[in-house]
Amino acid sequence: MNNIPIKFRSIYFQVMVKDLERAKKFYEDVFEFEVAWYEGPEIGWCEFHLPTTKSRLGLNASRKDEELQKNNGVLTLDVENLEESKKYLESKGIKTSDIIDNPNNVSFFNLEDSEGNKIQIVGDPRVKN
């Protein structure tokens, strides 16, 4: 197994939420998930450790002007080498977006599965200030 050049570090699923604080409280209170990474409402990101090895749930706050769609989620795959992963996926005929750089935070690109579900491939930031 894992004869492909994509070397996974972790896999998590992120869902869009309207109220980040309310959603954070729900997952802490109901499931007792431990916060792994919290950027607060100004950034709009909270990530939880899940009770399995290297799996996480991400809550992504929708923007104030963005209408929240139910059952809207993105499978997010964290990889060691973003460029190599992108090349591999494209060699399989998969259309990918350009790599987007959030300096000092993360770099990522997007694609869709065969059913139109969104997948995001993330890696260490390529741009550092």
Alpha helices in 7-125 (DSSP H): 20-31, 40-43, 82-91
pLDDT at residue 87 in the model = 95
With a cut of 70, which residues of the chain have pLDDT below it? Answer: 1-2, 52-57, 68-72, 115
**Alpha helix ranges (H) inside 70-127:** 82-91
CB distance 13 to 57 below 8 Å: yes
For residue 68, what pLDDT is reported? 63
Q: Kindly give the pairing relationship between strand 8-17 and strand 73-79.
A: antiparallel
pLDDT at 116: 75
The verdict on pTM exceeding 0.85 is no
Structure confidence at residue 125 (pLDDT): 94
What does the alpha-carbon distance between residue 91 and residue 111 come to, in Å, rounded to a whole number?
13
Query: For the chain, how far is it from start to end, CA to CA, in angstroms?
Result: 38
Per-residue pLDDT, 1: 55
User: Quick one: pLDDT at residue 38?
Assistant: 93
Could you give the domains of the chain? Answer: 8-123 (3.10.180.10)
